[in-house]
Amino acid sequence: MGCFPCFDSKEEEKLNNPVNEIDDRKQGQPTVSSNISRLPSGADRMRSRSNGGSRRDLGSKLPDLKDVPGVQIAAQIFTFRELVTATKNFRPESFIGEGGFGRVYKGRLESSSQVVAVKQLDRNGLQGNREFLVEVLMLSLLHHPNLVNLIGYCADGDQRLLVYEFMPLGSLEDHLHDLPPDREPLDWNTRMKIASGAAKGLEYLHDKANPPVIYRDFKSSNILLEEGFHPKLSDFGLAKLGPTEDKSHVSTRVMGTYGYCAPEYAMTGQLTVKSDVYSFGVVFLELITGRKSIDSNRPHGEQNLITWARPLFNDRRKFSKLADPRLQGRYPMRGLYQALAVASMCIQEQAATRPLIGDVVTALSYLANQSYDPNTASGHGHRGSGEKDERRHRDERGGRILKNEEGGGSGRRWDLDGSEKDDSLKETARMLNNRDLDRERAVAEAKMWGENWREKRRQSAQGSFDGTNL
């Protein structure tokens, strides 16, 4: 599913200030000039070699950046011929994927034997010189374990190619939707691990970069996976610098992928970090449900994931219907409840009621570290069909799921027989009601999961230390 303008615009977005300034006070990131005119081509690089130029120092080849203090953009510059050789002339056997901006090929650099992914931008596609430039600059300046690494680029003539580290497991979309018969679906632990890592990538963009970077194209096909299902965000051509000083948003032409765009952004073009939080919520629901954000092959009323899921949030007896059937019941019931609570917070229609991504990271770090063993009947989860296994977690007094003494948990009591006697249950029901959500209570809930988990880890580490020093 490619990117496209959600609505037609009478004016093309101006190319001025593709990247303004990224302050290095927080992360040591260099400041970027706002009047960048072009990137050097492979031909420029070849000419510079004869003058003793360095191949790897892109910063020294950018005439508009070289005089700016602190700028050190280190991406390799490739000739088109080098990338033709690396991909064996872009042969079909090297093709590994295609998006709205072009085709991606697997290649091997002749100079270093490094395996890479080469994205060849479609000259008639959606990404122009501005988006190409933004992606080179963003990925050259922003570095995090959950962001894909840019190795270099090619700008020979009208050719525009980007060279990334190769991600052997493909995209999250490849592991969630339209699975071939020989591919096992992702288990619960892996899904929570991917969600947590992807959220950390967004947190870096929103909270560590200064000014914040709004990703604007968060979707399952843009989350790439390396060995061990470690997720990394890719495709930064649509990224925008967030609002600064007293501004609440940035206004821009509406771009994105249908099914992932936040409603206020799609309607007004006003972009905030909360727009990314909404898109994250959609992807998190994809992970939980196994459904696509938009699926025209499903019955009417189920084609839009958010439209289908929202009514189910209001009835906890239907929560199990939101779990991916391919999991075959192999998930922790409490973990499902808490994951749905996070997803519900993220996809609120009103941006102000969505949590900050840092609060989401706190909650998901807790969930990702609650390892679920489907072969253990007494663990955090259950195995088998819903109602029978839920009884394993009921106490004798009220048939409720109680806080797990070892794992911290949410501290909420979930009444499985449908009664509304417990005050905390009413609070949870209100939290999951998409129109009456109390943001402060929901954020406190998420923080409590993480704090309980961290305290348990601290106590365990202290106990281990004390035991070895008796």
Distance CA(308)–CA(302), nearest Å, equals 5
According to DSSP, the residues that pair with 5 across neighbouring strands are 255
Number of other CB atoms surrounding residue 341 within 10 Å = 22
Answer for the pair 66, 73: CB distance below 8 angstroms, yes or no.
no
**Helix intervals (H) in 241-272:** 263-268
Q: DSSP letter at 294?
A: B
Residues in the chain: 470
Closest C-alpha among 365, 357, 457, 446 to residue 410? 446
Beta-carbon-side half-sphere exposure of residue 95 (alpha carbons within 13 Å): 9
Looking only at the bridges linking them, the beta strands covering 230-233 and 223-226 are: antiparallel
Distance CA(179)–CA(185), nearest Å, equals 8
Answer for the pair 244, 275: CB distance below 8 angstroms, yes or no.
no
Q: Which residues are catalytic?
A: 217
Q: Per the annotation, does 240 bind a ligand? A: no
64 by Cβ neighbours in 10 Å (0-12 / 13-18 / 19+) ranks as: middle
Q: Can you read off the two tokens belonging to residue 283?
A: 């992807």
Binding residues: 119
Binding residues for ATP: 119
